[in-house]
Amino acid sequence: MSTLYLRAARVLTGVDNGVIKDAAVQVDDGRIVAVGPAAQVPPPADPSVPQVDYGDATLLPGLIDAHVHLTLRRGLDTPLPAVPVTDERALLQGVEAARGVLAAGVTTVRDCAARGHHAQELRDAVEDGIITGPHILASGPPITTTAGHIWPLGYEADSVTEVRRAVRRLVKEGVDFIKVCATGGRGTPGSVIGRAQYSTEELRAVVEDAHRLGRHVATHALGTEGIRRAVEAGIDTIEHCAWLGLDGETLAFDEAVVESMATQGLVASIAAGPPWEVFHQDKELAGSSRPTTVARLETMKERWPLVHRMRELGVQVCFATDSVYGMFEDFHDLSYLAQALVEYGDFPPLDVIEMLTAVPAQAIGWGDRIGTIEPGKLADLLVVKGNPIEDIQALHAVTAVYQAGALVA
């Protein structure tokens, strides 16, 4: 396996926001064995071990996008997700996205809803070396109510018995985690954003069975009513977590629920794509039925203070793109999101990087494998030109991407 020695002007370890200057990383058999100042981590004596000095570059953990939809494409996702394309095309779209996001520095994704077995097949194709792509955790079809959010992709289940059966069926189909829709969603006409789709009892049944079977649970939750029930049920990651009132528009932040999230160690996974027109003028997209640039950015600016407050109250927060790809040709959606968070959201760059590496690694249950640069972890590494702490846009300047020490992009 891959053994190598890397140097760079700085390494962001992801451990307590650590920054090591003039640093080196030693990789042995795909795993990190040493990291520190180059003076303390000397090159290996064996001259056959490859050594790369990236100069004025930053080495950081490979990025993690904890909420994507590799097989879906913008323009094809509304009003009924994924209906217009064939299975074969959806899978090919997934192959393209897998290659693209990896080249953009994202070494792990969690695919939070795909039709049939698409996401599992993509995951296995990457692990078997058939295609290049990030490590993929797949939920497969989401569990939702009849006619509920994202039903064309999902398994409809309307009672405690039915949700349990859906969990067991998904596990049989090889999923890595369970996605359940606790509220309605924007892409699904007729679903109600501000209202909960399931009772606490039903959500609890999902959690009980998923945990029994060794899977964590992610829930789509825009409205506070659904968030509250999801938290009562102990769902591991609350996706979007938008705190919308019963009308689906006004904010209804609930600090008691937030405190319960913190106590239980539940993660808020703020899945919302970057306001693309801010970064990327695309006439056709800008003219679509989606919210305009200004409205979208204003919406985010309204929500981000709630994220700051959640963090103050001790909730672990990660950000994710919810990407239905096609927004950025280069698949740099996550880097654009990072840029938006720093430039418009008042989040310090190091915190943003932590929320795209160490925190999501924990959230998806891979905290012992990836997310930081420390001995024992997989050498999933990203090298970018320049210094993202001073200029977050450096995240776009991808120089190299490693997976388990192998150069993959």
What's the closest the beta carbon of residue 322 comes to Zn ion, in angstroms? 4
What's the closest the beta carbon of residue 141 comes to Zn ion, in angstroms? 13
Nearest to Zn ion of 7, 215 (CB atom) = 215
- What backbone torsions phi and psi does residue 286 show, to the nearest 5 degrees? -60, -30
The Cα–Cα gap between 387 and 322 comes to: 26
Query: Quick one: which segment of 112-120, 133-141, 188-196, 259-267 binds Zn ion (CB under 5 A)?
Result: 112-120
Query: Quick one: which segment of 9-17, 77-85, 88-96, 318-326 binds Zn ion (CB under 5 A)?
Result: 318-326
What's the closest the beta carbon of residue 382 comes to Zn ion, in angstroms? 24
Query: Quick one: which segment of 106-114, 191-199, 278-286, 329-337 binds Zn ion (CB under 5 A)?
Result: 106-114
Nearest to Zn ion of 123, 179 (CB atom) = 179
Indicate whether 322 belongs to the interface with Zn ion (CB under 5 A).
Answer: yes
Nearest to Zn ion of 112, 267 (CB atom) = 112
Give the DSSP H or E segment for 222.
Answer: strand 216-223
What's the closest the beta carbon of residue 84 comes to Zn ion, in angstroms? 18
What's the closest the beta carbon of residue 188 comes to Zn ion, in angstroms? 11
The Cα–Cα gap between 236 and 210 comes to: 11
Nearest to Zn ion of 324, 382 (CB atom) = 324
Dihedral (CA of 194, 140, 101, 29) sign: positive
* Nearest residue relative to Zn ion (C-beta): 322
Query: Quick one: which segment of 120-128, 279-287, 322-330, 364-372 binds Zn ion (CB under 5 A)?
Result: 322-330
Q: Is 3 helix (H, G, I), strand (E, B) or coil?
A: coil
* Residue 122: CB atoms within 10 Å: 26
Q: Kindly state the number of chain residues that form the binding site for Zn ion, as judged by CB under 5 A.
A: 2
The Cα–Cα gap between 141 and 148 comes to: 13
Query: Which residues, numbered 263-282, are part of the site for Zn ion (CB under 5 A)?
Result: none
The Cα–Cα gap between 127 and 135 comes to: 7
Count CA atoms closer than 13 A to 156's CA, side-chain side: 8
What's the closest the beta carbon of residue 150 comes to Zn ion, in angstroms? 8
Q: Which CB contacts under 8 angstroms, 24+ apart, belong to 186-193? A: 186/222, 187/77, 187/78, 187/79, 187/81, 187/149, 187/150, 188/79, 188/80, 188/81, 188/148, 188/149, 188/150, 188/151, 189/79, 190/147, 191/147, 191/148, 191/149, 192/248, 193/222, 193/223, 193/244, 193/248
The Cα–Cα gap between 259 and 54 comes to: 44
End-to-end CA distance of the chain: 17
134 near 94, Cβ under 8 Å?
A: no
Nearest to Zn ion of 236, 322 (CB atom) = 322
Query: Quick one: which segment of 12-20, 88-96, 105-113, 294-302 binds Zn ion (CB under 5 A)?
Result: 105-113
Indicate whether 333 belongs to the interface with Zn ion (CB under 5 A).
Answer: no
Query: Quick one: which segment of 116-124, 186-194, 296-304, 317-325 binds Zn ion (CB under 5 A)?
Result: 317-325
Nearest to Zn ion of 13, 145 (CB atom) = 145
Nearest to Zn ion of 28, 322 (CB atom) = 322
Query: Which residues, numbered 32-91, are part of the site for Zn ion (CB under 5 A)?
Result: none
Nearest to Zn ion of 323, 339 (CB atom) = 323
What's the closest the beta carbon of residue 82 comes to Zn ion, in angstroms? 12
Nearest to Zn ion of 5, 177 (CB atom) = 177
Check residue 44 and report its DSSP letter: P
Query: Quick one: which segment of 111-119, 202-210, 258-266, 398-406 binds Zn ion (CB under 5 A)?
Result: 111-119
At 242, list the tokens: 């938008």
Please give the residue ranges that form the binding site for Zn ion (CB under 5 A).
112, 322
